[in-house]
Amino acid sequence: MDHLELWKAIKETLRSQITEGFTFNNFVESLSPLMVTTANNTTMLYLTTSSSEVADAWKGQESVYFASFVTAAMQATMNLYGTPTFVQPVVQFIEAQPVVVEPTVEAASKPTSTTNSFSVSATALNPEFRFDTFVSSDTNLEAYSVAQAVAKDPGKQWNPLMIYGGVGLGKTHLMQAIGNSVLEANPNARVKFITTETFINDFTEALRKSQDAVEQFKREYRSVDLLLVDDIQFLADKAKIQEEFFNTFNAVTEVNHQIVMTSDKLPRDIKGIEDRLVSRFSMGYSANITKPDLPTKVAILRNKAEQEGLQIPNDVIDEIAASVDTNVRELEGVFNQVVGKLRFSPEPMTVDTARNILDSLNFKRQRTVTIEMIQDEVAKYFDITIGDIIGKKRNKEIVVPRQIAMYLSRDITQESLPQIGRSFGGKDHTTVMHASDKIVNLISEDTTLVRQIQEIRENLSNS
């Protein structure tokens, strides 16, 4: 489960259950999601607040908010993941760091007022979101490589960095990995991670409070070394907020400090984003993340099983990976459900029992991709013939697609090298190895090639 997505869904349900105005704004809206964990069959959503009063109000199962939260979570998880889940709220008090401002003579002569106190939302990086827990593959290699480069030398070549792609593909993980890496190298670095919703709420609250609050907001957001902003698409159609973000963006980047953002699509494709912001966002580097291929899904689930100390047979993991063809978030969600059901089942943990559970969840193994299907898709993509793919022509317009087809055949199918060679006009297995290695070496330096392979993979998945 994604903590941001989960909290957003729960909060919207709570909005209709808890009195609007003071109660909701202070005891629900003021909370920030930190992480979601599952241990001993108990799922817990950790939230932070800068108010000890709010933290106390949420403490324990006797809290007036506990029952409403659990009910809202059951509804939210049913809507998001298809299965209602008991989620327990854990609200932690994190004291806001005060911003010290030297008062002017005029201000010092005025009585202090506490009615307009303001503090910027405190957010924290998820310590589990690191580069070593992110499974890299062809579908995300570009974003992964650029993110590592930014983490090593922030504020230099790729600023801002925009990571874009569909829901649940690892954008937030990769962005926070940059923050965790920067803090590991320099614990004193000023790193701020926020959602766009948090930025909007902070700025709106500052405007409501006072001019001093607005100045405090600006100091907090513009004095960072690294600003991480999740889901930038939610700036759309908010002119006043876009103006403030534009000014914040300029203030951070003008001193060569780094900004990293995520979005569901390229900024130029987001309706309602001003041209000047699109222009600023395009100054740096935009990296795409797409759906994981089968080997990547298998690697993700094996990595997850290892991290959680689970002994899951490889063929069961393979079956789950082959049955979920949406995104990483749903893949891990289905994995948790299947493993949970298998744990409490009297039947042995086999592919057949896993398949029965997957069927009950409306997930079935995807069709097998063959060498012939790959050849056909590559030929259509590059506007050549299958005869060209399996023939002997040596011009570049034919050789590169042929090498891509061999690489994908070796990567996706279970066929042996000799069999792949025979399917490409009787070529030797060493030719297949050379072609595959050639593409692997080019991937690390040719972003166009990475994009082409990603698109061919997606076409194979969707056809």
Q: Which residue has the tokens 């984003």?
A: 273
Q: Would you state the structure tokens that stand for residue 189, as one six-digit string?
A: 């670095």
The answer to whether 448 is annotated as binding is no
Give the containing element (helix H, strand E) for 82. Answer: none
Sheet (strand 226-230) strand order: 191-195, 226-230, 258-263, 161-165, 285-289
Q: Would you state the structure tokens that stand for residue 12, as one six-digit string?
A: 């919207």
Give the containing element (helix H, strand E) for 289. Answer: strand 285-289
Distance CA 334, CA 297 (A): 12
Please check whether residue 92 is in contact with residue 46, taking contact to mean a CB–CB distance below 8 angstroms: yes
Q: Which residue has the tokens 């997505």?
A: 5
Give the containing element (helix H, strand E) for 321. Answer: helix 314-323
State how far the alpha carbon of 277 is from the alpha carbons of 225, 235, 459, in Å: 20, 10, 32
The answer to whether 171 is annotated as binding is yes
State how far the alpha carbon of 31 is from the alpha carbons of 25, 34, 124, 233, 276, in Å: 9, 9, 12, 22, 32
Asked if residue 160 has a cis previous peptide bond (ω within 30° of 0), the answer is yes
Give the containing element (helix H, strand E) for 363. Answer: none
End-to-end CA, the chain = 29
The answer to whether 426 is annotated as binding is no
Distance CA 131, CA 231 (A): 20
The answer to whether 170 is annotated as binding is yes
Q: How many Cβ atoms sit within 10 Å of the Cβ of residue 156?
A: 11
Q: Would you state the structure tokens that stand for residue 257, as one six-digit string?
A: 């400090």
State how far the alpha carbon of 267 is from the alpha carbons of 106, 364, 452, in Å: 45, 35, 21
The angle at the Cα of 411, spanning 407 to 414, to the nearest 5 degrees, equals 120
b/e code 93-121 from CB counts within 10 Å (16+ = b): bbeeeeeeeeeeeeeeeeeeeeeeebbbb
b/e code 384-397 from CB counts within 10 Å (16+ = b): beeebbbeeeeeee
Please check whether residue 385 is in contact with residue 379, taking contact to mean a CB–CB distance below 8 angstroms: yes
Annotated binding-site positions? 168, 170-172
Annotated binding-site positions for ATP? 168, 170-172
